[in-house]
């Protein structure tokens, strides 16, 4: 069952990439200048792709990481779910300062804030920096998440798809 789900997710990712390319939502359309982020402090990691943060100004927000989907580790226990949650927890220690970057849609249907989680403030929105500093990208690179792109939040879809292909080719994590 999990293999079918991964195959379907991969197919969806490819379709979303094609859709993003058709609308110009690729690197060429991205401003490579300064990145607008919101300073935040880690309060609690929920699982591999969700955490609670206290934003600058004191607002407390449950944040779902944009563009990625990790296996379940809370109510269900899917293969690599615990590993994804542990990896996220190892990088998002309670009290750690991070930067959250929003995309077009700021919230999902459950009211969670949607964000790219930067472990260090990014200087630019280029692919190299995303690979090195963005938790969302790091999860995909390690094979602990699959690409899950929901337009219009497609700013880094090209980076995520390339990292997923690399992880799959190298048989890392979910692709082992």
Domain ranges of the chain: 2-175
Burial call 127-146: b when 16+ CB within 10 Å, e when fewer? bebbbebbbbbbbbbbbbbb
pLDDT of residue 76: 77
pLDDT of residue 94: 97
Query: Active-site residue among 30, 61, 64, 83?
Result: 64
Tokens encoding 17: 């990439």
Residue 64 falls in the annotated catalytic set: yes
- pLDDT tens digits for 43-82? 999 999 999 999 999 999 999 999 999 988 777 777 688 9
pLDDT of residue 18: 36
Query: Active-site residue among 43, 78, 82, 112?
Result: 112
pLDDT of residue 80: 80
Query: Active-site residue among 30, 61, 72, 129?
Result: 72
Q: From CA 173, how far away is CA 45, in angstroms rounded?
A: 20
Fold adopted by 2-175: OB fold (Dihydrolipoamide Acetyltransferase, E2P) (2.40.50)
Q: From CA 168, how far away is CA 176, in angstroms rounded?
A: 8
Residues 6+ apart with CB under 8 A from 135: 65, 88, 91, 92, 98, 117, 118, 119
Q: From CA 128, how far away is CA 133, in angstroms rounded?
A: 9
Residue 112 falls in the annotated catalytic set: yes
User: pLDDT means per 10 residues in the chain (176 residues)?
Assistant: 42 40 37 80 96 97 97 77 94 97 97 98 90 96 96 97 98 94
């Amino acid at each position: 069952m999990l293999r079918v789900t991964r195959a379907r997710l991969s197919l969806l990712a490819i379709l979303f990439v094609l859709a993003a390319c058709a609308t110009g939502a690729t690197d060429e359309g991205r401003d490579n200048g300064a990145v607008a982020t919101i300073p935040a402090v880690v309060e609690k990691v929920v699982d591999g792709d969700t955490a609670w943060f206290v934003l600058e100004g004191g607002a407390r927000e449950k944040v779902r990481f944009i563009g990625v989907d990790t296996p379940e580790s809370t109510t269900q226990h899917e293969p690599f779910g615990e590993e994804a949650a542990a990896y996220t927890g190892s990088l998002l220690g309670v009290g750690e300062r991070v930067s959250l970057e929003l995309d077009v849609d700021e919230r999902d249907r459950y009211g969670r804030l949607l964000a790219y989680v930067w472990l260090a403030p990014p200087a630019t929105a280029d692919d190299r920096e995303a690979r090195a500093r963005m938790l969302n990208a790091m999860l995909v690179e390690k094979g602990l998440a699959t690409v899950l792109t929901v337009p219009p939040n497609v700013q880094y879809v090209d980076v995520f798809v390339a990292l997923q292909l690399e992880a799959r080719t190298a048989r890392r994590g979910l692709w082992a």
